[in-house]
Structure 1
């Protein structure tokens, strides 16, 4: 697989993973790291960009389509966002809960600057940890 196609696959998987659609961006990142498909920093940046844009898509959807309270998670996530503000989006990488946090950030009309900063930082930290563990594991096996 060409490097460009590998990077596009990582971006696409990362974007989809940040939405309610299925995607396994960590698995794609690990596979590309093991295959040596590009510099680690570049793979982390591409994965972070795709996942962050997917998360921001959820924020935009929250602004356009307000959610009805449908579960206990909605109430808990809303309370967290109202109490801690955009810093809560450091958890936007978490499955399901992260999607809900992004949607609610849009619904609550949080300021774009802090939303973008904390959302991207949370997602970047996740990929840095995954990449570091993978690279460390690869070094251990050799």
Structure 2
């Protein structure tokens, strides 16, 4: 592991940087990188139960920001492909997604398909702000539900 990455990981692991770690991990996990941010959120809440709501909100913000980057990558890719082909690309296979429009971004919380869905929304040129709002709603519901469920099944987590 490169020294700079090792130093960054050590810095983010410090307790006083817990929320920043959740922000970075949740942001990166919403891009097309294969990461999961739920363990970071749950771990922080397990160590600091009073950070339940801040951790949920920071994770939602980071994950939504990562979804926005995926949306922008999809839009950029569409523009590059259009330029390379000299015209509009027909996306017949995604016609079903057009029926839902930005509301489809509510499903951005789903494993495996959620992150690419944000990129596809950008590819399809769905309006950015409504997509971002739906992403935030879906991701907030996921973090709240998953963290509450973990705390329910592992009640000792509140007492390290």
Query: Which TM class, normalised by the smaller chain length?
Result: 0.7 to 0.9
Aligned to 1:124: 140
Tell me, yes or no, if structure 1 residue 137 matches structure 2 residue 153: yes
Larger radius of gyration: 2
Aligned to 1:12: 24
How many residues are treated as equivalent by the alignment?
Answer: 136
Task: Give the stretch that moved more between structures: 59-68 or 79-88.
Answer: 59-68
Give the CA deviation at 1:12.
0.9
Supply the distance in 1 between the matched residues of 2:92 and 2:117 (Cα, whole angstroms): 11
Supply the distance in 1 between the matched residues of 2:16 and 2:132 (Cα, whole angstroms): 26
Supply the distance in 2 between the matched residues of 1:89 and 1:75 (Cα, whole angstroms): 19
Q: Is the 8 A contact 2:74 2:121 kept in 1?
A: yes
Give the CA deviation at 1:105.
0.8
Aligned counterpart for 1:61 among listed residues 69, 73, 97: 73
Query: TM-score with structure 2 length normalisation?
Result: 0.75
Aligned counterpart for 2:62 among listed residues 50, 70, 73: 50
**3-state SS of 1:56 partner:** helix
**3-state SS of 1:95 partner:** coil
Deviations 1:63-121 (A, max 9, x none): 111298xxxxx976x23421111111111012331122111111111112311110111
Q: Is the 8 A contact 1:14 1:50 kept in 2?
A: yes
Q: Which runs of 5+ in 1 are unaligned?
A: 69-73
Q: Is the 8 A contact 2:32 2:116 kept in 1?
A: no
TM-aligned CA distance change 1:59 to 1:131, over 3 Å: same
Which stretches of structure 1, 4 residues or more, deviate above 6 A after TM superposition? none
Q: Which runs of 5+ in 2 are unaligned?
A: 1-12, 82-90
